[in-house]
Amino acid sequence: MPTNIYVSAPLRGKPYGVITTVAFNPLYGEVNPEAMSRAVMIEAITKAVVAGADYREMVLCDNFYTARVRPEVAWDLERMVQAIADLSVEVGVPFISGKDSSAGTFEAAGRTIHVPATLAVAVLGRVPDVKGIVTKEFKRPGNKLALLGRSDAGALGGSVYADAHGQRGDCLFDAGDKVSIRSVWDTLLVLGRQRRYVSGSAIGEGGLLLRLFESCLGSGLGARVDLNASHQFAARGEQRAVRKDALLFGEFVGSALIEVAPEGLGEVPHDLPYRMLGEVLEDSRLELIENGALVWQDRVSALDRIWSETFREVLE
């Protein structure tokens, strides 16, 4: 199972340790470098928070990569730096190091290639007890699945789903202001301390369906997702719709897929959106249902073979 965190307990016999995560997405840079910078910063922190680390005990490192500096490149770079500097102050997570390179221009045989504006953000955080880290693989059949955080429109721009259809989009998903972002993190920390969720994964590149696949692959279990959840927006009693393909493939950066007990998520802040998606299955398959009817299913083993083909294409 692919993982998105690294946890280390450096002192033998001691429970405490450190957590490291990284986020970057060059596809986003082709859409909006400024919004991309915010997104990868939020994603890197969310990965660590879902695992159980407190964002107030984290530090960040940035690594910018752009094409050779021209006026438009310099403008994008300035906006990217300002975006993460502002967000760093807003959410209270500081950058302590970083670097940049503007050597991303390749010229040969009369052809010039410029890399898209790219930013990688790394997190280093403290972990009180490494045994309490929440991993992404599913734990128990019958448990419910919830998508915690925003999952509304605008999540397909710059996505893998759009790229697979030869598109890029013209906007990126907006995780919201500092209050919205920290509300998700704070809720995850409270639920984590109460042991209310037993597996979790931050949403990012590939969207919800990729997280479901990875969690099934790592556990040998399966999952059933109700497409009617695309019409659910559980905040202040509102009901909002999102496209079904956006529910499955939307890259809701700042939101998280979590596995909770059969009785459900319980109480969450009244203004925090979430969707109850479905449940964990004992059989290792992914199912999509709508209005109680099965609309698609496949074995995780078959999906694993398809997923692995892309690596074989590169190697061969």
pLDDT at 119: 97
Q: Compute the average pLDDT of residues 100-118.
A: 94
pLDDT at 233: 55
Q: Compute the average pLDDT of residues 143-154.
A: 90
pLDDT at 154: 74
- The C-alpha angle with vertex 183 and arms to 182 and 187, in degrees rounded to 5, equals 115
Segment holding 223, helix H or strand E: strand 222-226
Domain 1-133 and domain 134-316 have a common topology? no
Question: Which of 236, 195, 244, 222 lies closest to 303, judged by CA?
Answer: 222
Statement: 1-133 belongs to CATH 3.30.1330.10: yes
Q: Compute the average pLDDT of residues 102-119.
A: 94
Domain ranges of the chain: 1-133, 134-316
pLDDT at 310: 77
Give the percent of the chain with pLDDT over 90.
84
Q: Compute the average pLDDT of residues 53-58.
A: 98
- What's the CA gap between 154 and 98, in Å, rounded? 30
- What pLDDT, in 10s, does the model give residues 264-309? 888 888 788 999 999 999 999 999 999 999 999 999 999 999 888 8
Give the percent of the chain with pLDDT over 70.
96
User: What is the DSSP secondary-structure string of 167-211?
Assistant: ---S------SHHHHHHHHHHHHHHHHTT-EEEEEE--TTHHHHH
Q: Do strands 197-202 and 144-148 pair parallel, antiparallel, or not at all (unpaired)?
A: unpaired
DSSP β-bridge partners for residue 63: 99, 120
pLDDT at 234: 54
Q: Compute the average pLDDT of residues 136-161.
A: 93
pLDDT at 133: 96
pLDDT at 307: 87
pLDDT at 270: 79
- What pLDDT, in 10s, does the model give residues 152-189? 777 899 999 999 999 999 999 999 999 999 999 999 99
pLDDT at 232: 63
Cα of first residue to Cα of last residue in the chain, in angstroms, is: 22
Q: Which CATH class is domain 134-316?
A: alpha beta
pLDDT at 144 over 60: yes
Q: Compute the average pLDDT of residues 189-215.
A: 96
Across 45-203, the runs of DSSP E, i.e. the strands, are 58-65, 95-101, 105-108, 111-114, 118-127, 144-148, 197-202
pLDDT at 109 over 70: yes
pLDDT at 240: 67
| 289 token code pair | 């249902």
- What pLDDT, in 10s, does the model give residues 228-272? 988 765 555 555 678 899 999 999 999 999 999 999 888 888 788
Q: Compute the average pLDDT of residues 188-204.
A: 96
DSSP state of 117: P
